[in-house]
Structure 1
Amino acid sequence: MLISIMLFASGCSQKAPENETKKVENESKNITKEADEVPQELVNVVEKSDRNIMETLADKNFTILVDLINAAGLEKTLAEGGPYTVFAPTNKAFAELPEGTVPALRNNTQELKKVLTYHVSDKLLMEKDIVNLTSIQTLEGENLPVNETVEGIQVGGANITKADILTDNGVIHQIDKVLIPPK
């Protein structure tokens, strides 16, 4: 650094040839253009997490959800696909279901997949996006109704209790109820 200061002070600093300067400027513009094409939400997700949805759910209060995702064979989809928005019921939410519901779902893979995919959208939806919606298209195929209440945002009658849990392939919103698709 001392040498740089001395060269600058003595007027002996080197200037890059003009064609090299233009080349760097053009490369910089191309990089900026490519970065502009990526939605900011995805850039933020990549910057803030190096774990996928399944890895993120594994160390939260979602052990029953993770077990059911594995039983349904959806773990690879949620680990490698995306971006997804997952409305994730807590273990407490599963405990509030009528007795025998979780084992019955585990034994009926087709119904289990319907219930689980009703909790997932293939759009990246942050809390600020959800508040402006009236419904969300789910992977199950049905629309999940969205309402804003005094307590906050509800999806399908469940309250979002913790929003914007970022992963490298989407976002998780913790909810306080298990969502059941309409028949």
Structure 2
Amino acid sequence: MNENQILSTRYLIQEKYLSLQNRFTITDDAGTIRYTGNASFFTMGDKVQIFDANGNEMMKIRQDSLHLHMTYRLFSTYAGATERQIALIKRTGPLWEHKLQINCVHGDYKIERRKDGTSSDEFVITKDGDTVGHVTKDASPTKTFYWVDIVDSKEQNHILLLAMVIVLSCAQRIPVNPMAKPMIKSTKSN
């Protein structure tokens, strides 16, 4: 293998807009369901629980509602362990940059749009400055799809990175959220 080739694991996250159970379904390259995410409706802010394929709760995502910037918390709930916060996620920078800053017990992460201008629906995940994943978004009228390629490494926590992409999805679909739509400057003249 040459040094330009990077092995990665690919996942597909499907978000179903009108589903009460399994709102998020995460499959691997072979189409096997690896994780599901159930969202709580009629609550202040987003609340999502992530389960493995056997129905064991792995993580929780909670949106904080009293912050200037959109803020989420990730909690580890592996195998019935005591719930503990492992990450704090905030939108940072100018609104049009669509950047998430993640302070995690495993290091500092960022999710931001690709800077090469290839697509507004492509994102890069970095950890302490190194690229650990790529995300491509594709939407239909009833679902949003996120293709997530995670750079293979013994150090990568795949469920953590997938939970971060679910936060990205939550942040983008909130209608009043500036991340949901690109900013359009008015060209109207009097």
Fold-level similarity (TM above 0.5): no
Bigger helix share: 1
Name the structure, 1 or 2, with higher relative contact order (CA <8 Å, separation 6+): 1
Over alpha carbons, which structure has the higher Rg? 1
Give the TM-score normalised by the residue count of structure 2: 0.29
Bigger strand share: 2
